[in-house]
Amino acid sequence: MPLYECVLIARSEITQQQVDTITDAVTAQVESESGAVKKREYWGLRNLAYRIKKNRKGHYVLLGLDAEPVTISEMERQLGLNEDVLRFMTVRVEDIDEAPSAPLARRGEDRDRDRG
């Protein structure tokens, strides 16, 4: 099956547990259609480059998916209907990197600098 990466931005007014609920729903929907979530990262509450629907911040989540294109289009439709999701982008990739993504790696480097 093809591999995809999906980044979604949720409203800043919701809690991290509500963001986890959204990603759990996406995971359940993908797995119910014989797909798999290979990677799941919560990047935290971050500033947006510009205001989206009157929001200046958003919860960022990265998902690495192994699913059929029909499953991905249904997932995107469900995300578009969810009022708590500001934006999402799904990209087809050759492989899903198991290492932490750049925002998480950078956060770890910042913590190391603060201690040193």
Strand partners, 4: 65, 92
- Give pLDDT tens digits for 72-91: 999 999 999 999 999 999 99
- Give pLDDT tens digits for 8-61: 999 999 999 999 999 999 999 999 998 999 999 999 999 999 999 999 999 999
Greatest extent of the chain over all pairs of C-alpha atoms, in Å: 49
Classified by CATH at the fold level, domain 3-115 comes out as Alpha-Beta Plaits (3.30.70)
- Here the tokens at position 2 are 């093809």
Chain centre distance of CA 100 = 13
Please tell me which residue, 102 or 25, carries the higher pLDDT value.
25
Domains of the chain by residue range: 3-115
Task: Quote the Cα angle for 54-7-92, to 5°.
Answer: 140
Q: Which residue in this structure is represented by tokens 């009157």?
A: 54
Residue pair 78/25 in contact (Cβ under 8 Å)? The answer is yes
Closest CA to 104 of 59, 44, 17: 44
